[in-house]
Structure 1
Amino acid sequence: MTFNPYLAGLKTNAAEPGKGSSGNIERPQAVGNIPWQTRPAELTAFEMTLADALQAMFRDGVETLPDIVARLNASTVQHPEGSWTEQNYQSLMNRLAAGASV
C-alpha cells in the first residue's frame, strides 16, 4: 500500500473492530499498520519526479529557495505553469502539503 486510504473520505472504523477510534483502543496484533500514514493518495508522476529532483538537490547541498528555483529551472522538471519562480514553488509546496495533487 502506498497511501493511507483512511484519509480519503474520512471512513469510520466501525467495520474494523481492531482499529483504534473513539472509545476503541487499537490492538496492534489485529491490524496492519499503514506505512504511508499521512499520504491520502499515491503520488503523481510529476510529484515523484519533483521529489527525486529535490532529494538530489538536498544531497548536493542546495538549500536556499533561490538556489532550488534556479536548479529546477535548469532541470527537466517543468512547473505546470511554465518556469519556476520562488512564488510558484512556494505555492505548489503549500498545495502539496495540504494534500492537493498536481
Structure 2
Amino acid sequence: MRYNVYLAETGDAKGGGRYIEEPAQVENIVFQTRAGPLDAFEDALALAMTAAFDAGAFEFSELVTSLNAAGSLDRDGAAWTEATLDAELDRLGQALFQTIPAAGEIAA
C-alpha cells in the first residue's frame, strides 16, 4: 500500500488539528499518513533523493548538486537550486501537515 486509504480529511483529529483521526476509530498505518499516492514528479524526486543519499550526499548543497548531476529537474523543468529544493520540500511538508479547523472554528 502506497498511502493510507483509511485517512480521512475531515472530522475530529488527534495531534492538534492534523489530518489523523482518533486512533481508536480508524486503522492508521505507520508512516503512511498521506491522503493519496505520490504523483509522478514526487515519486521521481523521492527516488533521486534516495540515490543521492545512498551516494553520500548529506549536506543540503551536496543534495542539490547530486540531484542536478543525476538529471533531476524541478517542477518548472529547471535545474535545482537550494532555494527551489527548499521551497519544494516545504510545499511537500505542508501538504502532509495541513491543519483543519476545530469544530465550530472558521478557517481564516
So what's the TM-score if we normalise by structure 1? 0.67
Give the number of equivalent residue pairs: 88
Partners of 2:63 and 2:87 in 1: CA distance: 14
Aligned match of 1:15: none
Q: What secondary structure does 2:95 align onto?
A: coil
Aligned match of 2:89: 93
Identical positions, percent? 34
Preserved CA contact (<8 Å) 2:2 2:32: no
Runs of 5+ in structure 2 lacking a partner? 13-20, 97-108
So what's the TM-score if we normalise by structure 2? 0.64
In structure 2, give the amino acid aligned to 1:87: A
Runs of 5+ in structure 1 lacking a partner? 13-19
Preserved CA contact (<8 Å) 2:64 2:82: yes
Partners of 1:76 and 1:8 in 2: CA distance: 36
Preserved CA contact (<8 Å) 1:65 1:86: yes
Preserved CA contact (<8 Å) 1:8 1:40: yes
